Chains A and B, each alone.
Chain A
Amino acid sequence: MIRSICILSVFLFGLAGCATTPEYVEALDVAESKVRSVRQMANATQVAEGEIEAAEEALGRAREIHKDNGNIADVRYHAYLAQRHAEIAESRISAQQAQQAIEGAEQRRTELLLRARETEAQRNERLAEQKAAEAAVARERAEEAIDVAAAERRRAEQARRTAEALADELQNVKAEQTERGVVLTLSDVLFDTDEAELKPGAGSAIAQLAELLDEYPERRLRIEGHTDSRGSDAYNRQLSRERAAAIADALTSRGINRNRLETVGMGEAYPVATNETAAGRQQNRRVEIVISEPDGDFPAVADRTAVTRNP
Chain B
Amino acid sequence: MITRLLKSAAVCGSMLILVACATGPDPSVRPIAQAESKIETAEESGAARSSPEAMASARKHLAAARAAADEGESEEATRLATKARLDAELAIAQADSQEAQQALEELEDSLQALRNEISRNQSR
Task: Enumerate chain A interface residues (CB-CB to B < 8 A).
Answer: 1, 77, 80-81, 84-85, 87-88, 91-92, 94-95, 98-99, 101-102, 105-106, 108-109, 112-113, 115-116, 119-120, 123
Contact = CB atoms under 8 A, between A and B. Distances in A.
The binding surface of chain A is classed by DSSP as helix
Contacts of A113: 114
Interface of B: 4, 8, 79, 82-83, 86-87, 89-90, 93-94, 96-97, 99-101, 103-104, 107-108, 110-111, 114-115, 117-118, 121-122, 124
B114 A91 contact: no
Given A102-B100, A112-B118, A88 B108 contact: no
Contacts of B96: 91-92, 95
B107 A106 contact: yes
B90 A87 contact: yes
Nearest to A96: B100
A84 B89 contact: yes
Contact of B79 (A77, A85, A91): A77
Given A80-B83, A84-B83, A116-B118, A94 B107 contact: no
A109 B86 contact: no
B117 A116 contact: yes
B114 A123 contact: no
A1 B9 CA distance: 12
Contact of B115 (A84, A87, A101, A112): A112
Given A88-B93, A105-B107, A116 B86 contact: no
A79 to B, nearest CB: 11
24 contacts: A77-B83, A81-B82, A81-B83, A84-B89, A85-B86, A88-B89, A91-B96, A91-B97, A94-B100, A95-B97, A95-B99, A95-B101, A98-B100, A98-B101, A99-B100, A105-B107, A105-B108, A106-B107, A109-B107, A112-B114, A113-B114, A116-B121, A123-B122, A123-B124
Contacts of B114: 109, 112-113, 116
A102 B121 CA distance: 26
Given A1-B4, A116-B121, 10 more contacts: A81-B82, A87-B90, A91-B93, A95-B93, A98-B101, A108-B111, A109-B107, A112-B118, A116-B114, A120-B121
A84 B103 CA distance: 25
Contact of A109 (B93, B111, B117): B111
Contacts of A106: 107
A291 to B, nearest CB: 58
B107 A102 contact: yes
Which of A84, A102, A109 neighbours the largest number of chain B CB atoms within 10 Å of its CB?
Answer: A84
Nearest to A123: B121
A170 B101 CA distance: 101
A102 B83 contact: no
A94 B97 contact: yes
Nearest to B114: A112
Nearest to B93: A91
Contacts of A94: 97, 100-101
Contact of A91 (B94, B110, B124): B94
